[in-house]
Structure 1
Amino acid sequence: MPDLLIELFSEEIPARMQAKAAEDLRQRVTDGLVEAGLTYAGAASFSTPRRLTLAIEGMLAQSPTLREERKGPRVDAPEKAIEGFLRGAGVSRDDLEVRDEKKGQVYFAVISKPGRPAEEIVAEVLEQTIRNFPWPKSMRWGAGSLRWVRPLHSILCVMTNDAGEAHIVPMDVDGITAGDSTEGHRFMAPGRFAVSSFEDYAAKLKRAYVVLDPEERAQAIWQEASNLAFAAGMELVEDKGLLREVAGLVEWPVPLMGAIDEAFLGLPPEVLQTSMKEHQKFFSVKNPKTGRIEKFVTVANRETADHGATILAGNQKVLSARLADAKFFWENDLREAEAGGTAWLASLDNVTFHNKLGSQAARIDRIAALAREISGVTGADADLAEQAARWAKADLSSEMVYEFPELQGLMGRYYAEKAGLPAEVAGAAQEHYSPLGPSDDVPTAPVAVTVALADKLDTLTG
């Protein structure tokens, strides 16, 4: 039973689209094959920044012959009814069979559809898949009409029979003719090479500095980055989302570790981690004794003669510029926090919460009143609950939260501490957003519980 190998080779596919695109390729091709009568034993899809790959095992060499019987009108039916049946069945009167039924003799049409070669079906299904691929965003290029996420350069489509003999499935999509060759790493092995099977393909890609499996790339990144951190007496901060994204940015991952400039180590660890993740796609490395983020790991897409020194130097220069901005935001915000945050609270009067519910300042007034009202039920101090409710949204006006919205609440806690507010107020600033989902922790401190309830009640009732 033949095996099938497909590769769609293009310019860089955005990392966030790769996993779904690989699954869409598998599902659409296999569904199309099965619908055409070609069953298979197994299928697996893979992605790298420049390619989508599908490997199918144990496929039928051709679709089975189909035999269909259609019951028609009675022999003595009007001629127009018989002619309509002939047209619908696609047969002539000589092809009909007459069979005895309870109500008399009836015409039957026996329709036989011969099987089709697998190559013909594969070419048809793959072309339709490529032309109708569900990219979230796509583009046209050159003079053609084909749309793809980035310019599509080549199509590899090879079938291998039981004897191990491989041949190209003949097809053409918008001037791109299917072949049996692909390319390796853009910089380290840019030449094309032919392949004959999935095993041959994966092995030759590895020799050409391309790790096909995204899970293998992610595992290699995590292992090497962890080793670099361990060797320096540090600990790599786990971030599965970032790991998946970075694995989609490189075909040959080479982790490199650098140090954060001493001038920025006073920033909150969450600020360092968020800035490096959002802007640079760096992993954070912390000192296990102090909890401070002191180093970072970046993942290069190639090996270099200087073992990444030039790449690392460039990354450190860009990182310092980014962290200088974060430090500027932090210092400005601290000055406002120490002044009581009055400018932040006043500015919320100009921020619309909902066009029928007024500004954020009006919302804060409602939450504060609710917090005082329900404090008796939650066992919280009424004055602290109201104070916490009035401070809880103050950081929405801060420069740091404007730059990194995901830090809202957390920065409110830091700023409350710097402003000398009670610990209960600072804790409520961070915890009142919780829980954000079924697996999230819920607040436990009475003041935090009170503000969280008041916030959510206002959201529900306005």
Structure 2
Amino acid sequence: MPELLLELFSEEIPARFQRRAADDLKKAVTNALVDAGLVYEGAKAFVTPRRLALTVTGLPGRSPDTREEKKGPKVGAPQPAIDGFLRSAGLSSIDQAKVESDPKKGDFYVAHINKPGAEAVDLLSAILPKILTDFPWAKSMRWGSGSFNWVRPLRAITATFGAENEEPVVIPFDSNELASGQTTFGHRFLAPEPIRVRRFDDYAAALERAKVVLDIDRRKDIIQTDAEQLAFAQGLTVIADEGLLEEVAGLVEWPVVMMGSFDPAFLELPEEVIIATIRANQKCFCLRDAGGKLAPNFIITANTEASDGGAVIIAGNERVIRARLSDAAFFYRGDLALPLEHGLPKLEETVFHAKLGTQFARVERLVKLAAEIAPKVGADPERAKRAAMLAKADLTTGMVGEFPELQGLMGRYYAAAQGEPADIATAVEMHYKPLGPTDSVPTEPVSITVALADKLDLLTGFWAIDEKPTGSRDPFALRRAALGVIRIIAENGLRFPLRVEPDLLAFFHDRLKGTLRDAGARHDLVDAVISAESDDILEITQRVGALSQLLSSDDGVNLLAGYRRAANILAAEEKKFNLTYRGAVDQGLLRLPEETDLAFAVDAVHAAVLSHVSANDYKGAMAELATLRAPVDAFFTAVMVNDEDSMVRVNRLNLLSRLRDTMHLVADFSKIAG
């Protein structure tokens, strides 16, 4: 069957856009093909710095003929309704429609519309230019005299269609005065000559000969493998950096790995400064020696095969890195010359948010909040206040001004250098964490205090000015802050009730539900445990775990069945008489041993569950509930709830209500599925 080859050749596409663009191209083309009736077998997209490419295999030569049935108005309907039906069905007369009968609706008109298929090339020549025009680049540009937008100037379009053993045809269309063809180009410097291509196999092979590795993942593998082998030969290891690897693979079409070095004297700088400097300025990988220390070497990924073995390229990178590390050393020495708190007055000149004041005002709030939180998490209030005061001071330093991603970390270095206690210095760095699901959380009391203060101030502040996340929009990273609070509390086993307004508490609930579900908790168990007033993250987490354990046992499953039976009986009776059964159980009205046994068991378990819950022992509480299985089963086997004696019936309903209330002490079992 025929295949489609599409390549959009342009000036350099920013690395951060490439993978998404390849996915978008594949999705746009394949969706349009299916909509046009061209069902395909497979599709794969590729991207390099200068091209987006797509191959779609197993396409038919034309779309199938179709027959559509269009239902019209009733026979005898007003003429405007008839005319509208004729227009929509493409009929010139109502005589061309058929009359069908429905036993309930009577006679009505039906049009049977035959639509012949179309040649795939004709359909593609209409589909492809629209896809180019509507392509969802995050940023695009216009050039020349036209109105066409693309991420960078588009230079050539290859679009061929044909079967394996046939000469393919060019899909004819124009875009921004560029006509489609079957000519592409290889590496900008190593093989710039035009290349005529027919279909994907010879296209990919021709590009490989022209020094272009088409697959971005293969380029990543080449870079990683060659870098590791080059480092190993020198007794070094590459510092893994997936983000940098992805970026570098998007900067080169023919990766060639080399190693450079810098003056070991620069190793006196914090290693994070060196790594950030080399990464940001030259997109190079740093290395460690056999002892795990940062080595005075780096890995370069060039986009060419140099005739001198890369000597000039290496020297150029070394020269730039030497200059940038010299700048970093200047900033570092300058920052160390002044106490960290020296930068605090400058925070008064920095607006945090127009409605929330300056960064200095925020520091004042953090200090106050840290003093309140510290006793609750076992931290010394004075040390927590000191850490909170210094937490944002490094924002005014030269190093953080140059590398904002080092905020907090540089504060720790500077705090330690000026003799601050280790827990205060650590808190300055850790108060930003966790920054994501795989990031570490603070574990020392002072760090926990300042991290919670930072995130809770952020959340309560933006809630107060009604700047809440909407849809996917979250410019102030409030979802991340809430998830950070949840992780800090849960992973440190903290009893830390969230005393926040209901709307913000509900926001925490949504984040916690997602966290628990990602960890494998059933959604219905999470819903059963969380109520609108639940403000203890650790308690919720422990209840979900204990409830899951209970319901994984036979006793739990059978108890849940008994609960449902009791709840259904109560719901029916309460609805019938418009009342709620909450009365005390009269021991004198218990006629059968099974109801007496259940009454005594429920009373005993109720008291025991309350005791366990007050001690935050939810596994113990669930274990107590599990003991109700046998008396509940025996009750429903032997006892008829709706007895003829109304007093006995009400007493038995009150007993079931007592059972329901006892189980609700730990979770709302009515929300549990299955």
TM over 0.5: yes
**Which residue in 1 is equivalent to 2:362?**
363
TM alignment of 1:42-441, pairs within 5 A: 42-73=42-73, 81-93=81-93, 96-99=96-99, 101=101, 107-289=109-291, 291-336=293-338, 340-441=339-440
- Root-mean-square deviation (CA, aligned residues, Å) is 2.0
Which moves more between the two structures, 236-245 or 109-118?
A: 109-118
- SS of the residue corresponding to residue 272 of structure 1 reads helix
Contact 1:287–1:294 (Cα < 8 Å) also in 2: no
**Which stretch shifts more, 64-73 or 256-265?**
64-73
CA offsets 1:265-292 (integer angstroms, 9 cap, x no match)? 2111100111111121111112231512
What one-letter code is carried by the residue in structure 1 that aligns with 2:335?
A: D
Deviates more, 1:86-95 or 1:450-459: 86-95
Name which of structure 1's ranges 72-81 and 412-421 shifts more when overlaid on structure 2.
72-81
Q: Deviation per CA, 1:235-256: give whole Å up to 9, x if none.
A: 1111000100110000000111
Q: CA deviation at 1:313?
A: 0.8
Measured at CA, do residues 130 and 355 of structure 1 come closer, stay the same or move farther in structure 2, by a change above 3 Å?
Answer: closer
Distance 1:85-1:308 versus aligned 2 partners, 3 A rule: same
Q: 2: CA distance between counterparts of 1:257 and 1:135?
A: 35
Cα distance, 1:24 vs structure 2: 1.0
Q: Give the Å deviation of 1:50.
A: 0.4
How far has the Cα of 1:375 moved from its partner? 2.5
Q: Which amino acid aligns with 2:280?
A: E
Change in CA separation of 1:104 and 1:343 when aligned onto 2, cut-off 3 Å: closer
| Cα pair 2:222 2:255 within 8 Å, conserved | yes
May I ask how many residue pairs the two structures share in their alignment?
A: 459
Q: Give the match's secondary structure for 2:258.
A: strand
Could you tell me the TM-score, scaled by structure 2's length? 0.65
CA gap of 1:91–1:271, structure 2 versus 1, over 3 A, is same
Contact 1:2 1:161 in 2 (8 A): yes
Higher mean displacement: 360-369 or 51-60: 360-369
How far 1:100 sits from its partner (Å)? Answer: 5.6
- Matched residue SS, 2:198: coil
Tell me how far 1:206 sits from its aligned partner. Answer: 0.5
Aligned partners of 1:276, 1:308: CA distance in 2, in Å? 18
Is residue 3–residue 161 contact of structure 1 (8 Å, CA) maintained in 2? yes
In 1, Cα distance between the equivalents of 2:230 and 2:194?
Answer: 34
Q: CA deviation at 1:172?
A: 2.1
Q: In structure 2, give the amino acid aligned to 1:160.
A: G
CA contact (8 A) 1:66 1:112 kept: yes
In structure 2, the CA distance between the partners of 1:180 and 1:372, relative to structure 1 (3 Å rule), is same
Query: Given the superposition, is the C-alpha separation of residues 121 and 342 from structure 1 closer, same or farther in structure 2, using an over 3 Å criterion?
Result: same
In the superposition, the TM-score normalised over structure 1's length comes to: 0.94
Given that 1:96 and 1:108 are in contact with CA atoms closer than 8 Å, whether structure 2 keeps it comes out as no
Shift of 1:105: 6.4
CA 1:59–1:325: 2 relative to 1, 3 Å:
same
Partner amino acid, structure 2, of 1:197: R
Stretch of structure 1 that moved more, 183-192 or 432-441 = 432-441
Matched to 1:364, the amino acid is: V
Q: CA deviation at 1:401?
A: 0.7
Q: Does the CA contact (< 8 Å) of 1:96 and 1:107 recur in 2?
A: no
Could you list the per-position Cα deviations for residues 378-416 of structure 1 after superposition, in whole angstroms to 9, with x for gaps in the alignment? 222233222222222221111101111110111111111
| Structure number having the greater helix percentage | 2
Question: How far has the Cα of 1:438 moved from its partner?
Answer: 3.0
Alignment CA distance shift 1:78-1:376 (3 Å): closer
- Structure 1 residues 117 and 334: alpha-carbon distance in aligned structure 2, compared to 1, 3 A threshold: same
**Matches of 1:100 and 1:414, distance apart in 2:** 84
Identity of aligned residues (%): 51
**92 and 285 in structure 1: CA distance in 2 versus 1, 3 angstrom threshold:** same
The answer (yes or no) to whether the contact 2:284–2:299 under 8 Å persists in 1 is yes
Greater C-alpha Rg: 2
Distance in 2 (CA, whole Å) between partners of 1:380 and 1:198 is 64
Residues 168-177 or 100-109, more deviating: 100-109
Q: 2:340–2:411: 8 Å Cα contact kept in structure 1?
A: no
Contact 2:11–2:50 (CA<8 Å) still a contact in 1? yes
Quickly say closer, same or farther: Cα 1:429–1:5, change in 2 above 3 A. same
Gaps of 5+ in 2: 462-674
Letter in 2 for 1:93: S
